[in-house]
Amino acid sequence: MRNDIEFDAEGVTLRGWHYVPTEGKGPFPTIVMAHGSAALKEQYLDRYAEVFAAAGLASVIFDHRNFGASDGVVRQEIDPILQMRDYRHAISFAQTLPSVDGARIGAWGTSLSGGHVLMLGAIDRRVKCVVSQVPTISGHAGSLRRTRADQMAASRARFEEDRRRRFAGELPGTMPLVAEDPQTACFNGGADAWAFFQESLKVAPTRRNEVTLRSAEMLREYEPGIYIGRISPTPLLMIVGNRDTLTATDLALQAYERALQPKKLVLFDGGHYDPYVRLFQISSTAARDWFVEHLIGDTK
């Protein structure tokens, strides 16, 4: 069963869905979920929630501030720290719902929000289980992978000019989220990013191919991987692609080695966008089983 929800995040209204299992008796263990960076909840998060609900897990899904159904200004701006903090607001909201067992809260994140839940799991002990899928580990290291050395100076110059304009009272500059032309500067580069954006328009037709320049600058300041050693004793599952060029595979594997037990790694054969559609069964089953094990218990 799915209901529309909205809740206050210290002055910004966030909106999303609350899924409750149709079988069993509540209150239910509940997964707090949001998509990566500028993606919307309609981009397959409902499919994950349905898998979780069939296993006896409720979920609270929301659009990030400044995107989709949620409020917030500046529109199309990604602030990683505020996005992570909104997970904490979502937990506080979830714990007010009568169908939610507030002592059994899990956190699921993917791509940029895969980094959010690493940080969240380390600092918020209300979280009892974490699933981090194709996570952002280091905004700085990731930017060095995605931006050619000969383009770094031009990138910094765009940020500096945008700061000058904003200081003068002008609106923030923007850039494409994805681009078909590999020579075009964008937030998420690569042919697979362009293909995923085009395909996901079928389920999220209102999605805009635009983010603020400041989003890219703030991403370079974001270092969720430094928190990974502090997640324990909260159980951590990482789902990582062996050919991920957006949130690089080696960075994720190095971070996993720094994590303490209990932890588990699922390494799938594919790239950054494969978990959502092509390898959905692998990614959703792995997450479901981890949450069931640690929030419900062994039912075998």
Structural tokens at position 109: 């994140």
Helix (H) or strand (E) run with residue 106 in it:
strand 100-110
pLDDT digits (tens, 9 = 90+) for 99-143: 999 999 999 999 999 999 999 999 999 999 999 999 999 999 998
DSSP line for 226-289:
GGGGGSTTS-EEEEEETT-TTTTHHHHHHHHHHSPSSEEEEEESS-TTGGGTTTHHHHHHHHHH
Q: What pLDDT does residue 299 have?
A: 42
Assigned architecture for domain 2-140+222-296:
3-Layer(aba) Sandwich (3.40)
pLDDT in tens, 169-188: 999 999 999 999 988 989 99
For residues 78-104, give the mean pLDDT: 98
Q: What is the pLDDT of residues 224-276, one digit of tens each?
A: 999 999 999 999 999 999 999 999 999 999 999 999 999 999 999 999 999 99
Backbone angles phi, psi at 116, to 5 degrees: -55, -45
Residue 277: closest CA among 203, 179, 189, 187: 203
* pTM assigned to the model: 0.96
Q: What is the CA radius of gyration of the chain?
A: 18
How many other CB atoms are found less than 10 A from the CB of residue 89?
A: 19
pLDDT at 82 over 90: yes
